[in-house]
Structure 1
Amino acid sequence: MGQTVNLKQRLAYNYLRDGSTKFLCYGGAGGGGKSWLGCEWLMQCCYFLPGTRWFAGRNNLKDSRASISVTFGKVAQWHGFTGYRLTNDGIEFDNGSEIIFLDLTYYPVKDPLYERFGSLEFTGGWIEEGGQVNGLAFSVLQTRIGRHLNDKYGIPGKILITCNPKKNWLYDLFYKPWKEGTLEDGYAFVQALVQDNPFATEDYIETLRNTNDKVTKERLYFGNWEYDDDPAVLCDYDAICDLFTNEHVKPSGVSSGSADLAMKGRDRFVAGHWKGNVCYIKLDQGYSTGKSIETDLKRMMIECSIPRSMMIADSDGLGNYLESYLNGIKEFHGGKQPINPEFDNLKSECGFKLAELINNRQIRVVCTDAQRERIKKELSVLKQDHIDADTRRKGIISKEKMKEILGFSPDYLDMLIMAMYFRIKPVPKRPKAKLGDI
């Protein structure tokens, strides 16, 4: 079977054919030849390795069948290859090889651990549109490859992941380490832009180049992984980056404090000292006891001149425990009634207020480089819930959903959100018009 590939695809083939790479992430923009590469690679694997079994999966089975089947037909026609047939389950080859279409949808109630893949055995496989797929699917599929005729042919199990930029597990496992030169052994990344694909139509390239949507252009034309295409995201990415360099925001006024409490390694104990809208992260601990939290927080309040009435804390009842020892501090109950009725609860109101201050460059955070990167990640999951429901009150997604997206608890975000308690004010009610005013 002959082949015509662009230079980035050729680089990808080098990884797909070597003996050391197990997981290759290819893409990073629109029109980079991702789907073609995935279909062509699996076609060649099945053709040259009779009897092997491969998977091809997307976020749902309908897309796997429809999208992959169409592209596979184009690739087969290009190569003049006819030794296959499409089935409801995938693609069968005349030599006994097969490609199985997988439904990679995450079912948190029905199948939270992807146990439906537990008995499957594959030679290798392909995750298409990886940005839409839960990271746990990738973790489970790692255990299912290299189990079907790999010893016979002397080949390692491999997974190809094709995607557009997405601030999720792909960013953490592939893009960021690749950018920093710290990719783990067995992992590889190829950045493929539309400009790298000689077969991309000029009309498609012009559409991406001239789009008025900044996020779309940054992600799909420039391949910028730092931009999120989720309309529910409340904080602008550029504003998040400015959060740490807003030197025009000066410390002023009465000191206040906010703390997200956690004991014995359950999440993190994070506390910030606020001087006006400047936040200094003073406490950041992965393991804490009730006594150490009390001692450290009291010391911070004394050193930073934080009045008891201007200190707020929360952590599933720990705030109540702490209030009995530090009499007078505020306990944050995020599920309580908001001050302004347009929100569904107090935490949502504070979350929207935080986003407002960040987007208006009215807030600054002073912290370490490591804390900055973690805060940037956590702010990316400050998202509006039920965004399409015009009749509902404004809300943010649950902490459980944030944890699912991040893979860890958004403790810095919680600390920042709680601090907004001192910054939200009731919306003034308009006076009723008198008869003589009409």
Structure 2
Amino acid sequence: MLQLKPKQIEAVQAVNDPTVDTLVLLGVVGSGKTDVAAHIDISIALQFPKTYWPVFRQNISTAIKTIIPSYLEMADKMGLVENEDFTYNQQAKTITFPNKSVIVFVEADPTKDRGGKKIKGINASGNHIDEADELEYEMFIQATSRKGRRNEAGQPSISIVTMNPNDGWAKERYYDRWKAGTLPANIRVIEFDLSDSWLSARDIAALMTNPDWWVQRYMMNNWNFSDESTSLFKSRHWAASLTDKLEATDLRVAGYDVARSGTDRSVRALVYGTTIADILITKDKTEQIDTSVQADMLVEDTVEFEYGLNNMAVDAVGLGVGVVDALAKQGYHVYEYMSGAKSDPNVRLSALDSMPVNFDNLRSQMIYLYARGVELGIIKHYSGCPYVRELQKEAMIHNFEITDKVLKVESKDKIKKRLGSSPDLLDAVIMALYVALRPVQAFPSHGDGDGNVSVPITSGLFGSSF
């Protein structure tokens, strides 16, 4: 049976305050921001007939794997029985109740809905904007403006906003003004802390082993914390790397991280030029798909997204060999990527070297080049790319160390223990970059004779102490 904690009860009470038309829920990981929003929305739909309540997420593919299951799980926790107390239509992505109330899950992707024209046609009672900081500001405004149009039964006209106030418009619009005491009275902000979390003590302890900058922000609500000295990636560089431009004429290359069963995912990353353009999960955590079937899926994917398998790198360690072999039998030959191999002198951002550093393996080299490319503005992230926020989390959680001028990025096994899952998105992206950063004419090698490549260390990444 569902039992709400004090802050979660406060959120429910705020909805009943007629002076509040915007409820902002923010705070630590696992505090149930989305779950509380789902509880409120389902309760309103049950109580007021003909309620029409859209739930907005930037990408519908992400919503299918995240927020929709959260709503269905919350309905179960509230004692509701599917096909008796409600029905869920997977194709229409709607939850419908016997009193004709509807909760509908809507994509707010500016690349598929220019100017939010589709959203403008929605007449809603209220709305929920999940992970609002991921939305472009214009799409957010369009989404929140659609409430108060189907409230004949007395439904509250309110926008429920769940988010992490990292950077950008969301932080400036809500968090910063809330902290400064300048928010208007119609906006209520509730910030959850660890005491409100539904996570177990064991889960919290595991999360507390993450890098300090991540713990400070996502566990301690210190959203202004900026010490990311142990991470190759910096949040300010990542924010600057987001772009709305995607050149269709750029060379398209791909990377594929392979899993067959278990909790790991199979992920395809697509890069246009040096812009991370698209991420596709072909095997999710709960699925089992043979490598030969995955090979066939990739062949179909090349047709849809117009790239060649000769411009794809596939994880050629363990199960990945099955995909490589299955493609070879069909006459396709891909780059075989082995993360533990020696660094590759033909993969680099620039031919110019200044302050040299070597790498312990290829994976460390590629993660470094990825981070440095983001810092220098060479590598971009398309704002419409699915899972780009999750990709940032996976990237920034990696620590590094330099010993005797050899850079070593934290191992995948250590990351899996702290993250709770494999960094599959990041691995697929660096495999794509393994192809994208390979010049037509290889630059001269400045290695040490054993395959270790020397590249410059910039002051923005490591400071000047090396």
State the TM-score, normalized to the length of structure 1.
0.52
Aligned to 2:86: 84
Q: Distance in 1 between matches of 2:45 and 2:383?
A: 39
Provide the residue aligned with 2:23 in structure 1.
24
Q: Is the aligned partner of 1:233 residue 2:234?
A: yes
Q: Report the residue type matching 2:33 in the other structure.
A: K
After superposition, the C-alpha distances for 1:313-347 in whole angstroms (9 at most, x for unaligned) are xxxxxxxxxxxxxxxxxxxxxxxxxxxxx8779xx
Amino acid at match of 2:146: R
CA offset at residue 21 of structure 1?
A: 1.2
Point out where structure 1 has 5 or more consecutive residues left out of the alignment.
238-341, 350-386, 405-429, 431-438
Letter in 1 for 2:211: D
Please show how residues 161-172 of structure 1 align to structure 2 within 5 Å.
161-172=161-172
Report matched runs for 1:209-228 at 5 Å: 209=208, 211-227=209-225
Could you say if the C-alpha distance between residues 92 and 202 of structure 1 is closer, same or farther in structure 2, counting changes exceeding 3 Å?
same
Q: Show CA shifts across 1:168-200 (max 9, x none).
A: 222111111111111123212111023223x32
Relative distance call for 1:54 and 1:7 in structure 2 (3 A) is: same
Report how many aligned residue pairs link the two structures: 261
Residue type matched to 1:131 in 2?
D
Q: By how many angstroms is 1:236 displaced? A: 9.4
Rounded Cα–Cα distance in structure 2 between residues aligned with 1:131 and 1:156: 24
Provide the C-alpha distance between the structure 2 equivalents of 1:213 and 1:153, rounded to a whole number of angstroms.
49
Match of 2:430 in 1: none
Shift of the 233–106 alpha-carbon distance from structure 1 to 2, 3 Å rule, reads: farther
Where 1:99 maps in the other structure, the secondary structure is: strand
Q: CA RMSD in A?
A: 4.0
Name which of 103, 128, 135 aligns with 1:99.
103
Matches of 1:5 and 1:134 in 2, distance apart?
32
Task: Give the secondary structure class of the aligned counterpart of 1:123.
Answer: coil
One-letter amino acid of the counterpart of residue 36, structure 1: D
1:31 Cα offset (Å): 1.2
Cα gap change, 1:402 to 1:119, in 2 (>3 Å): closer
Q: 1:186 to 1:394 in 2, by over 3 A?
A: same
- 1:153 is displaced (CA, Å) by 2.9
155 and 212 in structure 1: CA distance in 2 versus 1, 3 angstrom threshold: closer
CA distance in 2 between counterparts of 1:392 and 1:212 reads: 19
Q: Which runs of 5+ in 2 are unaligned?
A: 239-347, 354-365, 385-445, 447-466
The separation in 2 between residues aligned to 1:391 and 1:63, in whole angstroms, is: 24
Q: For the pair shown, which has the larger CA radius of gyration, 1 or 2?
A: 1
Name the aligned partner's letter for residue 22 of structure 2: F
* 1:105-144 equivalent positions in 2, closer than 5 A: 105-107=109-111, 110-144=112-146
Structure 1 residue 74, shift from structure 2 partner:
2.4
Distance 1:97 1:157 in 2: 15
* Contact 2:16–2:156 (8 Å) recurs in 1: no
**Paired residue type of 2:108:** L
- Report the Cα distance in structure 1 between the residues aligned to 2:127 and 2:136, rounded to whole angstroms: 16
3-state DSSP class of the match of 1:165? coil
1:140, CA displacement in angstroms? 0.6
Cα pair distance change 1:47/1:216, threshold 3 Å: same
Name 2:185's counterpart in structure 1. 185
Give the TM-score normalised by the residue count of structure 2.
Answer: 0.49
- 1:167–1:227: 8 Å Cα contact kept in structure 2? no
**Conserved? CA contact 2:53–2:102, under 8 Å:** yes
In 2, Cα distance between equivalents of 1:5 and 1:344: 55
The structural deviation recorded for 1:72 is 2.2
